[in-house]
Structure 1
Amino acid sequence: MKKGYKVTDVQREKKIGVAAENLEELILKSCKKLGFNVEGAGAGECRLFVAEDGTRVDDDDYLGTLPPQTLFILLKSTETMVTDFDFYYKMIRSTRKEFIDTGAAAHEFLSTDIKEKFKVFQRYIAAASDAKTMLSERVQDPAWFQGLEPSEKTKEQSMSKRVKERMKGYYYKTKSALQSSELYISSKNSRGKKLIDQFLVDLRKILESNKYNESYFNRKADQHARLCNENGLFECGGLWSNDKCVYEGDHVINPYRSREERIIFQTWNLDHKIELSRAIIPNILKAIEGLHNGDIKCITCESSVKQGAVEADRYYLQIFTRKNLKLVHIVCHHKGRHDADSGVYTVCKKCSRSQSIEYNS
């Protein structure tokens, strides 16, 4: 009796449905439908694997134990099997690193076939064992560190590094936008350029003084400084406009538990409730333009002055801290416009604080 199966190639470029009674028929039909340039005896060199775990199907008895609609990978003799998880992982890693670090790759990676990819990830999370979750050092759980730099000796060190990479991504995104602005490029006597460069130096100093908020992913950090519990479990914060995740209990992950969950965690996003590109950066530019043009409105005493400062620490809080960042599962990462605005944080000299920048021509 024939059963229906799904078959794709190792690159997952085309997926077909095949009804077959035995392994030979399944391979022959799959070769033809996938457009493999093999016929007759040549088809016998093709090999069939279960997509989920990479198990080779090499006889009718084993094929008969698999349920209908099982997804298989058909390989030519020269190709190497790649499981679903490792295939998706390779897709993530092939994306530009800074996009991964800031979580932006998650949108691109999961923008198509999201349900199927999410199911693959969930299966790996469900199958993970808790046996090594609380182990910390590389020598104790070497599999967890596969693919990481040799300098990363503990899980906590590695997770702290991931936060630092994301924070650097936000900084360089801000820097790139400001230095591409008309004010930076075209201002007379380079005054606009100096103001922006000074703001960026000040912003980075604040970020460095707070160690890039590396404690956010470190389960051994103080409970008020981390986003996970003492075991390393993270919970989704929900849509930017919600107080909590509506998928309560489902959108959770512990990247300390296994290599797979560590990798999947890269698709979780630190979402800016007040958006960086649409709201924060434009208001930074307005604030610096106020200094440049001698048209400053003090947010403290509300006076209008010609000289003053930009409160860089307020923008730091919005760009880099949990005051404006929410850790979210990819499903809860809203890609549309957020109805939340930043502000033009300028002050007069009298109200200026230590984390403000000034520029006097």
Structure 2
Amino acid sequence: MKKGYKVTDVKREKKIGVAAENLNELIQKSCKKLGFNVGFVECKLFVAEDGTQVEEDDYLDTLPSQTLFILLKNDETMITDFDYYYNMIRSTKKEYIDTGVAAKEFLTSNIKEKFRVFQKYVAAASDARTMLSERAQDPQWFVGLEPSEKTKEQSMSKRVKERMKGYYYKTKSALLSSELYTNSKRGRGKKLIDQFLIDLRKLLESNKYNEGYFNRQAEKNVRLCNENGLFQCGGLWNNNECAYQGEHVINPYRSREERIIFQTWNLDHKIELSRSIIPKILDAIEWLYSENIKCISCENDFKIGCIETDSESRRKVDNPYW
């Protein structure tokens, strides 16, 4: 089934619409419509919003219709939408930058009180339809979703799979663009990264991309919400609980508005994917590459080792990447 997308080039001078069934078709049509004088195999496709490279149909399938992509020739460098427009505004509209600084101060100061205000808005929503499940029972909740999504639980399971796939492909994109991977003199580093990504994907696939995380009807030890669909923040990624004492909660099953807000709601305040997790993975692979390996259990040194991808093992050790 074909989906419609928007595609532009690195200069954002021309934006085109393309209907495609798979990644190759999308790149071929985009290359032709944008007038690129190179073959489609010499082009790469990126998500404009965050700069993630789209390399597989599986990832493309997780992105919604009308997603904006940047098509680059191999010798061009990706610039995200944020960086592009920020640099443009910065060069011409200083007052906009000052406004942004003021907005940042608003979002970072007195944050507990702002959470209380948000929570009052959430609490004001009617609970009457929260426990309804089927589309026919609460049609307003399903506005904007695919007709194939018949229950709230099915829809939320689909959302978590999309989110998990997105995390995987962003991780993959970051690792494949690292110096350890691209440096041709470090072939073993490339092999270690390739193997880690294979193991990680197999683990995600075997767990069906953790489809039960957002499903309130899943087993208690699987889901991240309670039986009513209420999610409570677990605190910062390296803490055991949230500092906001039960105020940082959301129930996407209650209303369409909360479902939409939940799309950008992180379960641990912020995802440390780029700033912490990916660098730690690269550090671990670097240690393997240099044969500087110490077992976390017995503290003995070894010449060979592997990166542990299993989430259960990560909870049991101090260094979560072995």
Residue pair 1:295, 1:304 contacting (<8 A) in 2 also: yes
Cα 1:182–1:152 change in 2 (3 A) is: same
- 1:120-152 deviations in whole A, cap 9, x for unaligned? 855652332222211111122111011112221
1:310 is aligned to 2:304: no
C-alpha distance in structure 1 between counterparts of 2:299 and 2:269, whole Å:
28
Which residue pairs with 1:46 in the alignment?
A: none
Residue pair 1:228, 1:234 contacting (<8 A) in 2 also: yes
- 1:25-64 deviations in whole A, cap 9, x for unaligned? xxxxxxxxxxxxxxxxxxxxxxxxxxxxxxxxxxxxxxxx
C-alpha distance in structure 1 between counterparts of 2:135 and 2:51, whole Å:
23
The alignment partner of 2:133 has SS state of: coil
C-alpha distance in structure 2 between counterparts of 1:124 and 1:111, whole Å:
22
The alignment partner of 1:280 has SS state of: helix
Residue pair 1:124, 1:260 contacting (<8 A) in 2 also: no
Residue pair 2:180, 2:190 contacting (<8 A) in 1 also: yes
1:237 is aligned to 2:234: yes
C-alpha distance in structure 1 between counterparts of 2:251 and 2:105, whole Å:
25
Amino acid paired to 1:138: R
Which residue pairs with 1:262 in the alignment?
A: 259
C-alpha distance in structure 2 between counterparts of 1:280 and 1:96, whole Å:
17
Which residue pairs with 2:12 in the alignment?
A: none
C-alpha distance in structure 2 between counterparts of 1:190 and 1:244, whole Å:
42
Which residue pairs with 2:209 in the alignment?
A: 212
TM alignment of 1:66-215, pairs within 5 A: 111=104, 114=107, 122=119, 124-188=121-185, 190-215=187-212
Cα 1:258–1:127 change in 2 (3 A) is: same
TM alignment of 1:226-305, pairs within 5 A: 226-240=223-237, 243-271=240-268, 275-305=272-302
C-alpha distance in structure 1 between counterparts of 2:297 and 2:241, whole Å:
33
The alignment partner of 1:310 has SS state of: coil
Residue pair 2:293, 2:301 contacting (<8 A) in 1 also: yes
Amino acid paired to 2:304: Q
Show structure 2 runs of 5+ residues with no match.
Answer: 1-47, 53-62, 64-102
C-alpha distance in structure 1 between counterparts of 2:222 and 2:321, whole Å:
28
Larger RCO (alpha carbons 8 Å, 6+ apart):
1
Amino acid paired to 2:278: I
The alignment partner of 1:308 has SS state of: coil
Cα 1:97–1:182 change in 2 (3 A) is: closer
TM-score by length of 1: 0.52
Amino acid paired to 1:152: E
Amino acid paired to 2:141: W
Q: Equivalent pairs: percent with the same residue?
A: 71
Amino acid paired to 2:286: E
Residue pair 1:280, 1:342 contacting (<8 A) in 2 also: no
Which residue pairs with 1:25 in the alignment?
A: none
- Return the offset for 1:240: 4.7
- Return the offset for 1:161: 1.7
C-alpha distance in structure 1 between counterparts of 2:168 and 2:269, whole Å:
13
Which residue pairs with 1:221 in the alignment?
A: 218
The alignment partner of 1:216 has SS state of: coil
C-alpha distance in structure 2 between counterparts of 1:196 and 1:289, whole Å:
10
Root-mean-square deviation over aligned CA pairs: 3.7
The alignment partner of 1:312 has SS state of: coil
The alignment partner of 2:175 has SS state of: helix
- Return the offset for 1:204: 0.8
Residue pair 1:297, 1:303 contacting (<8 A) in 2 also: yes
- Return the offset for 1:237: 2.8
- 1:258-309 deviations in whole A, cap 9, x for unaligned? 1111112223213389943333322322332333334433334433333333
C-alpha distance in structure 2 between counterparts of 1:129 and 1:274, whole Å:
30
Amino acid paired to 1:176: S
- Tell me which structure has the larger Cα radius of gyration: 1
Report how many aligned residue pairs link the two structures. Answer: 222
The alignment partner of 1:125 has SS state of: helix
C-alpha distance in structure 1 between counterparts of 2:191 and 2:123, whole Å:
53
